[in-house]
Amino acid sequence: MSTPHNEAQTGDIAKIVLMPGDPLRAKLIAETYLEDAVCYNTVRNMLGYTGSYKGKRISVQSSGMGVPSMGIYSMELYSDYDVDTIIRVGSAGAISDSLSMGDVVIGMGLCTDSAYVSQYDLPGTYTPVADFGLVKLASEIMEERGVSYQTGVILTSDLFYTDEKDAVAKWKKMNVLCVEMESLALYCNAVRLGKKALTMLTISDLPLRGEAMGADERRTSFTVMLEAALRLAEK
Ligand code: ADE
């Protein structure tokens, strides 16, 4: 069995999947942390690996950038490969002044400028939220490790470059913590299919101040979040 986007066969993918956006990040995670890692997907270079971490079978599947790409890969993991839990491990731009470069955000709920939810034809608005058990466990792991983190509302945006220069500042009024581009599709697919999802983000830029991390700093701070995510996956 395979899909148009994933050549993995039935059973190739673990029940729990870590999901970075960048395929090369997936490769690096698999090579650095997983024992006996096997690459199960190279279609469109959207690399996916399965191996074990401290004895637990775990997969790492890249999602690509944006809601449509996350929509495809997470949907197929849940519905075609019987995955139970997906933990997105990504980066985000800070909106709240309370966040600094390298801080971790756990996406408890999210708001969006995307139309993804319109497919459900609901008679009102919908609030995508993470699995509460995962939010709780992730928060405990951050506390244990002394990681500087916040749990709250994030923004999934379809727009990285936009004519509307004040968009991020407007979300700030509602205490939105940070902006990224994928979690909406992940949270909606999980709820729709009765599965679990969580997003963990490292702040890699401060859009309101025009500042961004250098490559080395990005790598180091991502490691802090990633090791917490692996601990979560292992539990
Ligand atoms: N991911 C990391 N930084 C981002 C930003 N400023 N906007 C959207 N997604 C991001």
pLDDT at position 120? 98
- Tens digit of each residue's pLDDT (9 = 90 or more) over 163-205: 998 998 899 999 999 999 999 999 999 999 999 999 999 999 9
Q: Give, using CA atoms, the residue closest to atom 5 of ligand 1.
A: 93
- Check if 205 is active-site: yes
Query: Is pLDDT above 90 for 215?
Result: no
pLDDT at position 88? 98
Show the 3-state SS of the chain: CCCCCCCCCCCCCCCEEEECCCHHHHHHHHHHHCEEEEEEECHHHCCEEEEEECCEEEEEECCCCCHHHHHHHHHHHHHCCCCCEEEEEEEEEECCCCCCCCCEEEEEEEEECCCHHHHHCCCCCCCCECCHHHHHHHHHHHHHHCCCEEEEEEEECCCCCCCCCCHHHHHHCCCCCEEECCHHHHHHHHHHHCCEEEEEEEEEEECCCCEECCHHHHHHHHHHHHHHHHHHHHC
Ligand 1 centroid to residue 43 C-alpha, Å: 25
- Tens digit of each residue's pLDDT (9 = 90 or more) over 118-157: 999 999 999 999 999 999 999 999 999 999 999 999 999 9
pLDDT at position 35? 98
Interface confidence, given as ipTM, is 0.97
Euclidean distance between CA atoms 59 and 17, whole angstroms: 5
Euclidean distance between CA atoms 228 and 10, whole angstroms: 28
pLDDT at position 217? 83
User: Mean per-residue pLDDT for 59-86?
Assistant: 98
Residue 212 Cα: closest atom of ligand 1: 3
CA distances from 174 to 50, 95, 110 (A): 39, 10, 11
Query: Is pLDDT above 90 for 218?
Result: no
Query: Is pLDDT above 80 for 219?
Result: no
Euclidean distance between CA atoms 75 and 143, whole angstroms: 31
- Round to the nearest angstrom and report the end-to-end CA distance of the chain: 29
pLDDT at position 142? 97
Mean of all residue pLDDT scores within the chain: 96
Contact, 230 vs 200, CB < 8 A? no
Query: Is pLDDT above 80 for 94?
Result: yes
Ligand 1 centroid to residue 106 C-alpha, Å: 15
Residue 207 Cα: closest atom of ligand 1: 6
Ligand 1 in reach of 183 Cβ (< 6 A): no
Ligand 1 in reach of 160 Cβ (< 6 A): yes
